[in-house]
C-alpha cells in the first residue's frame, strides 16, 4: 500500500493541469505523498517519492514520445527508450524531496513536517528542477492554479512557487485534519480554510493599471506542417501564406507571426521579401513581428530571432534554448543524438541576457520565444518597463497531445505574475490573447489556418513578483528549513543547554 499510494498520487497529479482543468486534484495527490512520507526511512521516502514522480511524469509528459518519434524521426525503439529515460530522470526530483525530508528532519514532529518540511522541500525541489541542467518546469504545482483563488491571489506576489506552496501546505494540513479527532479536527479544518480565504482577499488587489488606449492585434496561425516546413520546395508557399494572411489583417495595429514562421535566414529574404512587406505594413499604419532564424556573419553563429518591422525596427535573440532541440549540450559526447533525432535548425546560439525590450504598436513589449515562457524568472525580462508581453512559439512538435494545452496554461500564469497582457502566436496552436489576470480572451482552434484578432490594453505598474522574483519564496523556505535543522541538531547534541531548549 505504501508503494501503491504514491504511484496513484503521481498518476492523479497531471489531471490538475490543462486540458483536464481539475486544479483541486493537486491537493489530494500531494496529501497521499505526504502521508506515505511520514514514517518512512530515507530509502523508503526516496522510493515513494520516485514512484510518485514516475506516475506524475509518466502521464504528464508522455507527449515527449510524439515529439521524438513523429517529428524528430526517431525510431519506435529509440523514441521509446529516450522517453522512458527522460521520465525516470525527472522522477528523481520528487525522490530527492522525500529523501531529504527523512534524512534531515526525521526528529521533527509530524505536524511540523506536514505543514512546513514536506511542502517546503517539495517546492524547493520544483525550483531546483526549474534551473538545474537548464531547467524543466513542466507540471509545477502552482501552474495548475491559474484559475483558482490561490493562483489569482498568490501568483502576482510570489509567483508559481508561491501558489504551489499554498497548495502543498493545504495538502499537509488536510492530512492532519483527516487524522485528528473531535475539536482538533475542527481546528485543522479551520486552518485549512485560512489560505484560500487570504488568497481571495489578495486577488482583489490591482497591482497594475491601464496605460494608454487599447490597440488592435492579429495573431497569425499558419498551421504549416512540421514535416514540410523546412523543405526547400515549400519555402515560397510558406512565405506567400504568411504574406497573404498579413495583407488580410493590416487593419490591425500589430500583426504577429509565430516562431521561425520564415523557413529561411533573415539575410536570404530581407531584400526580396521583408523590405516590401515592411513598406506595405508601414503604409497601413501596422507593425509586424516575425519569428525568423538569423545568421550573424560577424561571429558565424545562428540565432532563433524575433524581428520587429514597423516604425522602429528591432531584434530579439532567444536567450533560453531547448537542449537537443536547438543545441546539443556536451556536443563532443552527445553529438550522436543528432543522428537519432533528425531535428532541423538544431545549432542555435544563446542570445545575450543584456538585450532590451522591443517597441511595437507604440509601446515597449517584453518578447520571448517558444518555451522561454515556461520559466517564471526568465519571463520577468523587460519588466516593468514593457507595457505588454509577446510570445511566439511552434508547438507543432507536440502533435495532438496534451502538451499544447499545458504550455498555454504556463503562459497564462506568466501573464498573471506580470500583470500584463500576453500575446501568443503559435504555428499550430494554442494561439491566444491572454489578459493581465491570466484569462483567455481569445483562442484560435488547434491545427487550423487562421488569424486571431482582438485588442490589447497596455499596462503600467509592477507586481511584487516582477520586483523580487522567486526570492520571496525560496529564501524564506531555505532559512526556515535551515533553522529547523539547527534547532533539532543542537537539541540532540546539547540537551539541557540554552540552545537545546530553543
Grid coordinates representing 90 are 525527472
Question: Which is the catalytic residue, given 259, 326, 417, 436?
Answer: 259
CA–CA separation, 396 vs 399, rounded Å? 6
Instruction: Report how far residue 431's alpha carbon sits from residue 450's, in angstroms, rounded to the nearest whole number.
Output: 10
> Cα–Cα–Cα angle for 112, 118, 120, nearest 5°?
95
Let me know: does 328 contact 335? Beta carbons within 8 Å: yes
Q: How far is CA 475 from CA 239, 416, 472, in A?
A: 49, 22, 6
- Closest of 145, 93, 160 to residue 121, by C-alpha: 93
Count CB atoms within 10 A of the CB of residue 41.
Answer: 12
Interhelix angle for 76-90 vs 42-60, to 10°? 140
* Cα distance between residue 211 and residue 388, in whole Å: 10
Contact 450, 221 (CB under 8 A): yes
Q: What is the DSSP string of 251-262?
A: TSSEEE--TT-S
Q: How far is CA 248 from CA 288, 347, 401, in A?
A: 13, 34, 31
Candidate list 370, 372, 417, 436, residue with the active-site label: 370
To the query of whether residue 318 is one of the catalytic residues in this protein, the response is yes
CA distances from 367 to 278, 309, 355, 394 (A): 20, 14, 10, 15
d(CA 437, CA 56): 28
The closest alpha carbon to 406, from 92, 64, 65, belongs to 64
Cβ contact 313:307 at 8 Å: yes
- Residue partners of 160: CB distance under 8 A and separation at least 6: 137, 140, 142, 143, 376, 413, 417
**318, 326, 372, 417: which one is catalytic?**
318
Residue with cell 521516502: 45
Q: Is 233 among the catalytic positions?
A: no
> What are the C-alpha distances in Å from 88 to residues 83, 85, 210, 310?
9, 5, 46, 47
Nearest CA among 89, 90, 135, 78 for reference residue 337: 78
- 122: nearest Cα among 4, 1, 10, 5: 10
User: Which active-site residues does the annotation give?
Assistant: 259, 318, 370
Amino acid at each position: 500500500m505504501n508503494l501503491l499510494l504514491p504511484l496513484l498520487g503521481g498518476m492523479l497529479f497531471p489531471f490538475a493541469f490543462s486540458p483536464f482543468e481539475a486544479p483541486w486534484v493537486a491537493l489530494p495527490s500531494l496529501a497521499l505523498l505526504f502521508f506515505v512520507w511520514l514514517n518512512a526511512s530515507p530509502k523508503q521516502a526516496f522510493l515513494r517519492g520516485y514512484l510518485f514522480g514516475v506516475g506524475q511524469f509518466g502521464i504528464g509528459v508522455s507527449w515527449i514520445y510524439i515529439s521524438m518519434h513523429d517529428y524528430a524521426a526517431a525510431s519506435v525503439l529509440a523514441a521509446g527508450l529516450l522517453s522512458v529515460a527522460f521520465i525516470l530522470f525527472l522522477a528523481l526530483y520528487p525522490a530527492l524531496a522525500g529523501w531529504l525530508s527523512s534524512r534531515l528532519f526525521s526528529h521533527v514532529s509530524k505536524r511540523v513536517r506536514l505543514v512546513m518540511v514536506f511542502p517546503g522541500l517539495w517546492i524547493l525541489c520544483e525550483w531546483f528542477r526549474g534551473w538545474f541542467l537548464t531547467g524543466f518546469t513542466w507540471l509545477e504545482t502552482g501552474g495548475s492554479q491559474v484559475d483558482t483563488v490561490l493562483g489569482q491571489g498568490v501568483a502576482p506576489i510570489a509567483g508559481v512557487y508561491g501558489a504551489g506552496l499554498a497548495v502543498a501546505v493545504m495538502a499537509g494540513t488536510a492530512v492532519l485534519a483527516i487524522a485528528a479527532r473531535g475539536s482538533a479536527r475542527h481546528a485543522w479544518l479551520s486552518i485549512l480554510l485560512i489560505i484560500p480565504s487570504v488568497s481571495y482577499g489578495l486577488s482583489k488587489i490591482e497591482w497594475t493599471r491601464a496605460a494608454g488606449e487599447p490597440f488592435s492585434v492579429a495573431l497569425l496561425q499558419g498551421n504549416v506542417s512540421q514535416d514540410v516546413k523546412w523543405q526547400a520546395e515549400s519555402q515560397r508557399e510558406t512565405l506567400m501564406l504568411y504574406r497573404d494572411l498579413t495583407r488580410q489583417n493590416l487593419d490591425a495595429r500589430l500583426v504577429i507571426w509565430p516562431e521561425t514562421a520564415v523557413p529561411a535566414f533573415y539575410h536570404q529574404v530581407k531584400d526580396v521579401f521583408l523590405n516590401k512587406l515592411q513598406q506595405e505594413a508601414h503604409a497601413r499604419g501596422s507593425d509586424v513581428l516575425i519569428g525568423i532564424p538569423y545568421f550573424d556573419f560577424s561571429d558565424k553563429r545562428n540565432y532563433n530571432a524575433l524581428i520587429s518591422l514597423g516604425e522602429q525596427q528591432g531584434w530579439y535573440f532567444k536567450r533560453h534554448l531547448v537542449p537537443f532541440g536547438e543545441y546539443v549540450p556536451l556536443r563532443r559526447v552527445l553529438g550522436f543524438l543528432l543522428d537519432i533525432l533528425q531535428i532541423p535548425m538544431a545549432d542555435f546560439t544563446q542570445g545575450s541576457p543584456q538585450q532590451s525590450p522591443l517597441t511595437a504598436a507604440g509601446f515597449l513589449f517584453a518578447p520571448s520565444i517558444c518555451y522561454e515562457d515556461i520559466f517564471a524568472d526568465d519571463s520577468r525580462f523587460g519588466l516593468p518597463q514593457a507595457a505588454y508581453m509577446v510570445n511566439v512559439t511552434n508547438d507543432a512538435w507536440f502533435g495532438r497531445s496534451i502538451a499544447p494545452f499545458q504550455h498555454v496554461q504556463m503562459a497564462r500564469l506568466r501573464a498573471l505574475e506580470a500583470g500584463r497582457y500576453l500575446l501568443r502566436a503559435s504555428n499550430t496552436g494554442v494561439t491566444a490573447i491572454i489578459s493581465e489576470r491570466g484569462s483567455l480572451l481569445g483562442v484560435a482552434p488547434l491545427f487550423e489556418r487562421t488569424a486571431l484578432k482582438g485588442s490589447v490594453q497596455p499596462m503600467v505598474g509592477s507586481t511584487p513578483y516582477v520586483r523580487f522574483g522567486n526570492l520571496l519564496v525560496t529564501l524564506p523556505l531555505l532559512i526556515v528549513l535551515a533553522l529547523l535543522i539547527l534547532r533539532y541538531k543542537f537539541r540532540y547534541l546539547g540537551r539541557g543547554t540554552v540552545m537545546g531548549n530553543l
